[in-house]
Amino acid sequence: MRSYKYLKVSGERRTKIIQLQNIRFFKGKREVSHTDPNMSSSSTVSITFVLQKKDEYFGTVTHYHSKNPSICIVITWAKIVQRIRQYPNSTDSTIINTYRDKNGTTHLLSGQLLLKQVRLAAATIDHESLGFHPKKNGLHSARSGAAMAMYLSGVPVYTIMLLWRWSSDAFLHYIRKQVK
């Protein structure tokens, strides 16, 4: 997903941040409640995007449970939903970038904070080894970096395309650019 779908970012955005009510789990055709402790074993997760930048309203994307728990999007979303549902005053309208600090204070994860963390992580690696300076990292780096890590780990290209909703031409163009 693009960062503005799950983060508070600067500037005006038409796209709405995902709320808990926009994330639905299913075991077969039966919807699984957010309070179900076995939510992570659901067969699918469906995410509804209320408004997307191309004036598409209520577009829903469904992902299937993976046999590989380290990349299973159903398990990942279940953990996010379960974490947020534990917060006091959490409702169906709570947005997914909600988190609590070590003092128990609730905050909204912002693009600025995530960018700072990404650059801090990159700074712990010698920029000569990385091939670029940490300040060259952006939030797009998180999406493309995850896709590249999956590609280098042998995840089939069609799986990566499904997860990121990329066209094959866009993904192959990106891979060719990275390999040069």
Query: Do 9 and 92 belong to one domain?
Result: yes
> CA 108 to CA 95: how far, in whole Å?
8
Nearest partner of 10 among 111, 109, 107, 95, judged by Cα: 111
Longest dimension (CA), the chain: 51
Same domain assignment for residues 48 and 9:
yes
The alpha helices in 18-110, defined as continuous H runs, are 73-85
Which among 155, 158, 156, 177 is positioned nearest to 168, based on CA atoms?
158
Is 129 in the same domain as 79?
no
Give the pLDDT means over successive 10-residue stretches in the chain (180 positions). Answer: 49 70 95 96 90 63 85 90 94 90 87 80 79 76 68 78 56 57
Cα separation values, 111 from 12, 72, 81, 142, Å: 13, 24, 20, 12
Matching residue, tokens 């004036």: 55
Write down which residue in 60, 84, 109 finishes a domain.
Answer: 109
153, two tokens: 């780990």
Residue of 160, 172, 179, 176 whose CA lies nearest to 73: 160
90 contacts 84 by C-beta, under 8 angstroms: yes
Looking at the structure, do residues 45 and 134 belong to the same domain, yes or no?
no
**Residue 8 and residue 110 in contact, taking contact as beta carbons nearer than 8 Å:** yes
Task: Count CB-CB contacts under 10 A for residue 98.
Answer: 19
Same domain for 2 and 77, yes or no, is yes
Both 116 and 101 in one domain: the answer is no
* Same structural domain, 13 and 75: yes
Q: How many domains does the chain have?
A: 2
Residue at a domain's end among 89, 109, 129: 109
> Domain containing 173: what range?
110-180
In this structure, what are the phi and psi dihedrals at residue 155, rounded to the nearest 5 degrees?
A: -70, 130
* Together in a domain, 123 and 136: yes
Phi/psi class of residue 20: alpha, beta or left (left: φ > 0; alpha: ψ in -120 to 50)?
alpha
Q: CA torsion, points 6, 7, 11, 14, in degrees to nearest 10? A: 20
Residues 99 and 27 occupy one common structural domain:
yes
Q: Choose one of 109, 130, 158: the last residue of a domain.
A: 109
